[in-house]
Amino acid sequence: MPSVHVNLADRAYPVHVEAGLLAQAGGAIRNAGLSGLRPAILSDETVAQLHGGALIASLEAAGFQPTLHTVTAGEASKSMSQAEALCREMIRAGHDRKSMVIALGGGVVGDLAGFVASIFYRGIPFVQVPTTIVAQVDSSVGGKTGVNVAEGKNLIGVFHQPRLVLVDPETLRTLPDREFREGFAEAIKHAVIRDAAMLDDLAALDASGREVPADLIARNISIKARVVEADEYETRDIRALLNFGHTIGHGIEASVPYGQMLHGEAISLGIRAALFLSERHAGLSPAESAKVIRLLDLYRLPLVLSASISTESVMEKLARDKKFSAGAIRFVVLEALGSAKVIHTVTADDLRAAIEHLRQST
């Protein structure tokens, strides 16, 4: 099976990618040295119904005694109140510091479950079992956990690396069309910052199908892993490269009720805005921008910002974003496809112009 090693010294862990891996999860978790821990599976109601039974059966066959805890599907579940509710539910179920959390689901579940694991009994191990494109190619790796508040996305959280990540591409077959397509915004992001050749591979996939090669997923994970290894806590403007498209994208996502716009849909808009600013500030060619926009369109991701979302609302939300440092704007731009950098010359007026640019048709 394709595997990627995330080399973080004593926090290192493997990421395994293989079709059918969900049914082997119990053995993989036991072999990772976690056999003495009691699993608390955290999932959402939709994913638990689809995949919870298979995971529980695999864990029980490997000698574990898991419990299952679910939340309502959607971004609104990424909250402090939900994290507290899960912690209390786990305590009532008999979990303690000799337990572990298994995150079964997409990015919302992974972020929330990782955060719960980081605070439960002052921190217990957790395992990621991602079931969406976003989670498989991006959010399940790197240790960022957190919850949202009204003022912005992911503003409360900690770095808490998983002990193991198990990626089964077959879980993608159960995704609704919209949730399947939105995840490719993150894969496109990886391609434009580090692997321009991947753009052609993504273009060659059947955007309406459910076949995503394991090696393509592993290729994305490898990009994420190498960046995380170089800058785990995002202090050197290296890990920040993974935020391409996210500054304005998060501002857009936070400007509507959570769940109304999917993460990848907001990031698609953010990528288009970042391409606009890359042409202005880093010399990216319009032809290169157009290639990326065509690929976003191939996956039917949004490229035009709704008139119902005001520019000032987006500006207000992104001003609270973690990518701002002491009020200064750190913005990721492309010099060319596959070559990204962080600059500090983007102004508030530039951001407004980029948001307004999103109101024009492509």
Residues noted as catalytic: 122, 144, 186, 224, 234, 239, 243, 246, 250, 263
Angle ∠(100,17,134) on CA atoms, nearest 5: 80
For 237-297, give the DSSP string: SSGGGGGTTHHHHHHHHTTS-TTSS-HHHHHHHHHHHHHHHHHHHH---HHHHHHHHHHHH
Question: If residue 153 lies in a helix (H) or strand (E), which one and from where to where?
Answer: strand 152-156
Contact 38, 98 (CB under 8 A): yes
DSSP 155: E
Phi, psi of 290 (to 5 degrees): -60, -35
Q: 36 CB contacts (<8 Å, ≥6 apart)?
A: 98
Contact 143, 162 (CB under 8 A): yes
DSSP 173: G
d(CA 150, CA 79): 10
- In the three-class reduction of DSSP (H, G, I as helix; E, B as strand; rest coil), residue 346 is classed as coil
Phi, psi of 168 (to 5 degrees): -115, 105
Paired strand residues for 126: 101
Contact 219, 230 (CB under 8 A): no
d(CA 145, CA 303): 28
